[in-house]
Chain A
Amino acid sequence: MLDQDGLHELESHCTQESPPHCRVACPFDLDLRAFLARMAENKPGEARKILERHVPLPGILARICDHPCENHCLRQSLGGSIAIHALELACLSADTAPGRTLPLPPKRFKVAVLGAGLTGLTLAWDLGRKSYPVTLLHTGTPESAVLAQYPQLAQSEGLRDFLAEDLERLGKQKVTFVQEALTPGLLDKVASEYDGVLVDADAAPDLGLEESAVDTETLVLRDNICVAGWKSHTATGHAFCSASQQAGQGRRAAQTLERLMSKVSITANRAKEQGALHTDLAGIASVPRVEAATALAGEPFYTPEEATREAGRCLQCECLICVRECVYMQKYKGYPRVFARQIFNNLSIVQGIHTANSLINGCALCGQCEELCPENFSMAELCRSTREDMVDLGIMPPSAHEFALEDMESASSEPCSLTLADSAVAQPAWLFFPGCQLTASRGDQVARLYGWLRETLNKGDKPGLALLLSCCGMPAHWAGRRRLFQEHTDRIRSVWEDLGKPRLVTACSSCLSAFRDRLPEAQALSLWELLDTLDLTTLAKAGQADTALPALFSVQDPCTARHDQAWLNAVRSLAQKCGVKLEEPRLSGTSTACCGYGGLVWCGQPELAAEMSAHRAAQLDHPGLASCIMCRDRLIASGKECWHLLDLLLPGGPGGTERGPGLSARRANRASLRKRLLAQYQGTTEEKPDALARVQIPDDLLPLLEERRILLDDVRGAVLAAESSGHCFQDQESGHWLGSWRPRKVTFWVEYEKQAEGFVVTDAWCHRMIVPGAGGQEAEEVVRTCQASMDKTREVGA
């Protein structure tokens, strides 16, 4: 079950909320993305608010900052870093009012600063804004130290006098400037009189404090004294003033002193530990930096129009690498970090609506996000394991997967399931497991392929090919039904053992992954790998006349085979042997996209599944060539021409445009293949009188029934149940009859006409709610149980 620690671990793998590289490099944590976005909108007033929220002495720093942000800008290799420094200057030079600080009640702790260099001024700014009384002790004039460090501040030359403006604002923040000789004796005196003391090392050289004497993280010298602001040195030992370093240290010392004075930990949670933001630069065009037409005080100076253009080059870095490719994540409007939190909350609530149920059940579990994510965040694993938790907690909505699980059961039991031993060999070397969907869609090809494979393998050194028609149990795995999945694969294991443990061959990548997980001893391999080792000349002859094939196919790899290199290679090899050309889509192989069948999304959220199909179809430039029948059938349903690999190997199949069968037809096809194979290999015929045949269902009703998840057998069953029990109504105007039937957790209603030769259905609908007096005899027991349970509740309440 997902707990807080698990959630934090998951969250740490999604970097979408991590700050961009420029912001990480800024010692003041300036939200540069927002600043540049406002500048790009030509809103310097808004941009200034952001700047002043983060940056101390904004005017001074706009002039002198050595902008480490620009060195980390991802535009650097795509036309040059954004000219952030020049944009800050342009922003503060625009005719906008400085932000007003809210008056706060004065703090009781007093702070002294020795030395009015950039570090001292920064600390005075930061703590003064928070209403700490700050006394700034300096030699010379208040500005002489910072001017000595940054002489360019004296040259306005058309720019505003930012130094004077910021010093004036310091005064308004109740920072008191006092001229004093900065001696070691003074330091001892202020340390005892004030609650916190900063020594600006560069502006108070007489104190002789070395950088090595302080703690590098907190800048504490001893007790309540911080020292900061030393000059930086080049590799060759040349000393210079770095504004970002000196002001950055002032900011850091201010944070330390505030913590010291408040008597809280000076080290806890200071640095935010977040993974670096990943940003995909593929496909981003290079745009050169905007050159300013004029320069002021030796600096490029942007006009508002130039500033807007330059800020517009900002990439507004964000990750969303997975979201950009995933219809599901786009629909739920978030990214994995947000989803993980929503899913955690969904599991945690005791009472109320589980609002993230559809989020959890909407994922196709295809695993593409994990492949694309630089940190390998897997929404598939998160959603699938959460589904297991929901089942364990009893909060999984029954309708989410029930239809698919019933289909799985139907495919794995009579009249669809079949085990055929190989009569020619006592102990077959192979067991062919075509998979329930290939059986449902391509019964004829499965039968022909089985015949050919059996004959071919029996000529080789590992003869004997048994056959098992069933579902592999993957729907249970996708639905989070751990026990059902285990029971199902145990059943298959038992059949496999009875057959003498032959090697499993399957045509479905989902079956393959289920067997590799639960039946590893069977050494399952794909049909394509096996075929690729055989002489295929006689196989094509087992088919009919060759149909016209497209000149070029886009290969559609199934998502469950993305890590199965042998599958991927064999498909390409077979296609080549069949003489067709393949194009690899942008996302192919390990990064292939789901067709919408995965994760049972088709069952609970069919519209989303259809969007997934259409999205994938649009990524294939040419007719698709799929090696998974559900990829093929779903892409065709979305209007895309798509062929199955068997169409190349066994010509004469449905080709690339004929739609796959509907839900009812799939079940009927499975049953029909079973009959055909039984007759062919065991001479058994099972002809039962079919009462259901008397119920006719017009073709135009079929799509509506599919949409409503009503099977033809349910419709026929409802008519016959109504007729035999008399549980029905009649409309005196139309003469139509209406009957209901509840064979399982759904009540089916069927409206029909009686005709001489039988019944003609005119409409059908269904619901899951239990209604006393509806659903026929089959519903009576469940109604009684519900009523008894409600009566009991009432008694307890009374």
Chain B
Amino acid sequence: MSLMEPSYRPDRGTWICGRCGVPLEQGKTPIFYLNSAFDVELPRCPQCGLTLVPKSLAQGKMREVEATVEDK
């Protein structure tokens, strides 16, 4: 959806999954808030699907979108 950019990468570093030990890959995933859903690409483990939300996304765009959705 237009409210969110398509892809977000880790703010820094080279991250691997703590469980599977494999490098993360950008993967498309739906994210939800109240009655809205958005498709975004986030770093995730290709094996177990564990997904990372970078700090810049959580404190930036996500906060904006949360506020907009709450006022809908």
**Interface residues of A, Cβ cutoff 8 Å to B:** 352-355, 357, 397-400, 708, 722, 726-734, 736-740, 747, 749, 763, 765-774, 783, 786-787, 790
Q: Is the beta-carbon distance between A399 and B66 smaller than 8 angstroms?
A: yes
Candidates A729, A740, A783; contact of B15 at CB < 8 Å = A729
Question: What 1/0 flags go to B33-44 for Cβ under 8 Å of A?
Answer: 110010000101
Which of B12, B44, B67, B72 is A773 in contact with, Cβ under 8 Å? B44
List 18 extra interface pairs beyond A398-B70, A768-B66, A790-B32, CB under 8 A: A726-B19, A728-B19, A729-B15, A729-B18, A729-B50, A729-B52, A730-B15, A737-B18, A739-B18, A740-B53, A767-B62, A769-B31, A769-B32, A769-B65, A770-B31, A772-B29, A772-B30, A790-B30
Q: Tell me whether A767 and B71 are in contact (CB under 8 A).
A: no
Q: How large is the interface on B (under 10, 10 to 19, 20 to 34, 35 or more residues)?
A: 35 or more
Q: How far is the CA of A245 from the CA of B45 in the complex (A)?
A: 87
Complex Cα distance, B45 from A399, in Å, reads 30
Whether A772 pairs with B49 at a CB distance below 8 angstroms is yes
Please report B residues at the A interface, Cβ cutoff 8 Å: 12-19, 24, 29-34, 37, 42, 44-45, 49-53, 55, 57-59, 62-63, 65-68, 70-72
Known contacts A727-B50, A749-B55: A770-B33 contact under CB 8 Å: yes
- What residues of chain A lie closer than 8 Å to B31, measured between beta carbons? 769-772
Whether B59 pairs with A771 at a CB distance below 8 angstroms is no
Cα distance, A729 to B19, chains bound together (Å): 8
Complex CA distance for A400 and B66, rounded to whole angstroms: 11
Residue of A nearest to B63 (CB): A767
- Give the shortest distance, in Å, between A255 (CB) and chain B (any CB): 45
Cβ contacts under 8 Å, A771 to chain B: 29, 31, 42, 51, 53
16 contacts between A and B (CB under 8 A): A354-B72, A729-B52, A731-B12, A734-B13, A737-B18, A739-B18, A749-B58, A763-B55, A767-B66, A768-B62, A769-B33, A771-B29, A771-B42, A771-B53, A773-B49, A786-B37
In the bound complex, how far is the Cα of B67 from the Cα of A765, in angstroms?
17
User: In the complex, A739 Cα to B17 Cα: how many Å?
Assistant: 10
Inter-chain contacts of A354 with B (CB < 8 A):
71-72
Bound: A769/B30 CA distance, A: 11
List the 10 closest pairs (A to B, CB-CB), nearest first.
Answer: A773-B51, A397-B70, A731-B13, A728-B18, A786-B32, A767-B58, A770-B32, A765-B55, A769-B33, A732-B14
**In angstroms, how far is the closest chain A Cβ from the Cβ of B27?**
9
Which residue on chain B has the smallest CB distance to residue A396?
Answer: B70
Summed over the interface, the residue pairs from A and B with CB atoms below 8 Å come to a total of 109
Q: Which single residue of chain B is at the shortest CB-CB distance from A726?
A: B19
Nearest A residue to B48, CB-CB: A773
Question: How distant is the Cα of A642 from the Cα of B29 in the complex, in angstroms?
Answer: 51
Contacts of B42 in A (CB 8 A): 771
Q: Are A355 and B71 touching (Cβ within 8 A)?
A: yes
In Å, the complex CA distance between A763 and B55 comes to 9
Interface of A is mostly: mixed
B66 to chain A, nearest CB (A): 5
Cβ-defined contact, B17 with A729, below 8 A: yes
For B71, the chain A residues whose CB sits under 8 A away are 353-355, 357, 397
Give chain B nearest CB distance to A544 CB in angstroms.
44
- How far is A774 from B43 in the complex, measured between Cα atoms in Å? 11
Q: How far is the CA of A786 from the CA of B35 in the complex (A)?
A: 9
Contacts of B63 in A (CB 8 A): 767
Residues of B contacting A738 in the complex (Cβ-Cβ under 8 angstroms): 15, 52
Residues of chain B within 8 A of A708, CB atoms compared? 59
A397 to B55, CA, bound (A): 23
Pair B19/A733 contact, Cβ less than 8 Å:
no
Pair B13/A749 contact, Cβ less than 8 Å: no
Are A732 and B15 in contact (CB-based, < 8 A)?
yes
Q: Which of A731, A736, A763, A783 has the largest count of B CB atoms less than 10 A from its CB?
A: A731
Determine how close the nearest CB of chain A comes to the CB of B2; give it in whole angstroms: 15
Chain A residue with Cβ nearest B16: A730
Q: Could you tell me the distance between the alpha carbons of A771 and B31 in the complex, rounded to whole angstroms? A: 5
Q: Give the residue name and chain of the B residue nearest to A737 (CB).
A: B18
* Complex Cα–Cα for A21 and B12 (A): 66
Find B70's partner among A399, A726, A739, A763 (CB 8 Å cutoff). A399
| Closest Cβ–Cβ distance, residue A769 to chain B (whole Å) | 5
Are A736 and B13 closer than 8 Å at their CB atoms? yes
Closest-by-CB residue of A relative to B62 is A767
Please indicate the chain B residues that have their CB under 8 angstroms from the CB of A774 in the complex. 50-53
A710, B39: Cα distance in complex, Å: 27
| Bound: A747/B66 CA distance, A | 13
Which residue of B is nearest A763, CB measured? B55
- Determine the distance from Cα of A734 to Cα of B15 in the docked complex, in whole angstroms: 10
A768 in contact with B15 given A353-B68, A399-B66, A749-B58 (CB within 8 Å): no
A397 to chain B, nearest CB (A): 4
Residues of B within 8 A of A765 (CB): 55, 58-59
Q: Which residue of A lies closest to B52 (CB)?
A: A729
Q: Give complex CA distance A733, B51 in Å.
A: 19
Q: How far is the CA of A786 from the CA of B45 in the complex (A)?
A: 21
The interface residues of chain A lying within 8 Å CB-to-CB of B34 are: 398
User: Shortest CB–CB separation between residue A348 and chain B, in angstroms?
Assistant: 15
The chain B residue with its CB closest to the CB of A734 is: B13
- CA separation between A355 and B57, bound complex, in Å? 24
Query: Is B15 within 8 A of A790, CB to CB?
Result: no
Q: How far is the CA of A353 from the CA of B34 in the complex (A)?
A: 14
A3 to chain B, nearest CB (A): 23
Determine whether the beta carbon of A357 is less than 8 Å from that of B51: no
Could you tell me the distance in whole angstroms from the C-beta of A377 to the nearest C-beta in chain B? 26
Q: How far is the CA of A769 from the CA of B1 in the complex (A)?
A: 15
Whether B33 lies near A733 (C-beta < 8 A) is no
| Chain B: minimal CB distance from A267 (Å) | 45
Complex interface: chain B residues within 8 A of A722 (CB):
18
Q: Once bound together, how far apart are the Cα atoms of A773 and B67, in whole Å?
A: 23
Establish whether residues A353 and B16, one from each chain, have CB atoms under 8 Å apart when the complex forms. Answer: no
Q: Tell me whether A357 and B70 are in contact (CB under 8 A).
A: yes
Name which residue of chain A comes closest to B70, CB basis: A397
Minimum Cβ distance to chain B for residue A167 (Å): 61
Is the beta-carbon distance between B50 and A766 smaller than 8 angstroms? no
Residues on A with C-beta less than 8 A from B19 are 726-728
A706 vs B66: C-alpha distance when bound (angstroms): 20
A114 to B43, CA, bound (A): 90
Which residues of B are found within 8 Å of A400, using beta-carbon distances?
Answer: 70
A763 to B30, CA, bound (A): 26
In the assembly, what is the distance between CA of A103 and CA of B71, in Å? 49
Which chain A residue has the least Cβ–Cβ distance from B33?
Answer: A769
Residue pair B70, A787 in contact (C-beta under 8 Å)? no
| CB atoms of B55 and A730 under 8 A apart | no
Expressed in whole angstroms, the Cα–Cα distance for A353 and B70 within the complex equals 9
Residues of A within 8 Å of B33, CB to CB, are 768-770
> Which residue of A736, A737, A766, A769 has the most chain B CB atoms within 10 A of its CB atom?
A769
Question: Is the beta-carbon distance between B13 and A733 smaller than 8 angstroms?
Answer: yes
Closest B residue to A790 by beta carbon equals: B37
* Residues on A with beta carbons closer than 8 Å to the beta carbon of B65: 769
Compute how far the CA of A768 lies from the CA of B14 in the bound complex, rounded to whole angstroms: 25
Tell me, in angstroms, the Cα distance from A766 to B55 when the chains sit together: 8
User: Closest CB of chain B to A84's CB: distance in Å?
Assistant: 47
CB distance from B18 to the nearest CB of A (A): 4
Residues of B within 8 A of A737 (CB): 18
Nearest CB on B from A507, distance (A):
35
